[in-house]
């Protein structure tokens, strides 16, 4: 039996044209460690063209729970607000749904925090394009928590990579962490409705 994540899309963006979300200080403190988690677990990102066909790169620490089958990231499209009373269609990155299972390191309620970092290639390095985080609670008697899929509008053509981190906690105790790097050609798909190409380790939109 699973529950649904309580909070999602609690966003802090480095993209100049993204809309920042309002976030409470208490939630921000809870999520700071997860932003650091993804960077610490993966370090530098591979350069464009350095990947192969094997799916995903994983890193873990402590005693995290498990993650159900991990789906690819999709290049797609979405509608966003345009001029007053209008909307426009733009390219988008769709990060899949995840179900995080309970850690065996603690009984009772557990909190799972999820972080998504999207990187854009600048021509010489990968730079953060946008980030988002959220958390869900696995209550007693439940086996996991589900984080729904997320759609990120992309207003700048370019090359993109995705990193996702999960952290398990019980009260003030950190139980473990998972990091997922989408850095292989098999990690991305295109839905064929707009310009989209899958490279060796990136999505081109």
| Average per-residue pLDDT for the chain | 78
Tokens representing 188 are: 């991305």
Separation CA 179–CA 172 (nearest Å)? 21
pLDDT over 90 for what percent of the chain?
Answer: 52
Residue 3 pairs with which residues in a beta bridge?
145
Tokens representing 1 are: 């039996």
pLDDT at 186 over 90: no
Query: 45-81 pLDDT, tens per residue?
Result: 555 544 444 466 778 899 999 999 889 999 988 777 7
CB 63 within 8 A of CB 175: yes
Q: What is the pLDDT of residue 58?
A: 74
* Residue predicted with more confidence, 113 or 156: 113
Q: What is the pLDDT of residue 83?
A: 64
* Residue predicted with more confidence, 42 or 137: 137
Look at the chain and report how many structural domains it folds into.
Answer: 1
Residue 53's domain comprises 2-204
- DSSP class of residue 199 equals -
Q: What is the pLDDT of residue 11?
A: 34
CB 162 within 8 A of CB 95: yes
């Amino acid at each position: 039996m699973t529950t649904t994540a309580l909070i999602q899309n609690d966003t802090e963006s480095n993209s100049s044209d993204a809309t920042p979300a309002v976030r409470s200080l208490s939630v921000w403190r809870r999520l700071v460690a997860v932003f650091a988690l993804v960077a610490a677990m993966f370090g530098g990102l591979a350069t464009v063209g350095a990947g192969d066909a094997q799916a995903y790169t994983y890193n873990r620490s402590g005693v995290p729970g498990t993650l159900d089958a991990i789906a690819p990231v999709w290049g797609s499209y979405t509608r966003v607000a345009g001029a007053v009373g209008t909307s426009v269609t733009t390219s988008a990155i769709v990060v899949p749904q995840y179900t995080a299972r309970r850690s065996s390191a603690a009984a009772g309620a557990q909190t799972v925090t999820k972080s998504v970092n999207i990187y854009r290639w600048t021509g010489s390095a990968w730079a953060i394009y946008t980030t988002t985080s959220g958390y869900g609670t696995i209550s007693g008697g439940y086996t996991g928590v589900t984080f729904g899929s997320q759609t990120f509008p992309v207003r700048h053509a370019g090359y993109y990579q995705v990193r996702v981190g999960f952290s398990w906690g019980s009260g003030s105790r950190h139980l473990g962490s998972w990091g997922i790097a989408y850095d292989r050609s098999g990690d991305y798909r295109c839905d064929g409705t707009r310009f989209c190409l899958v490279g060796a380790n990136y999505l081109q939109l």
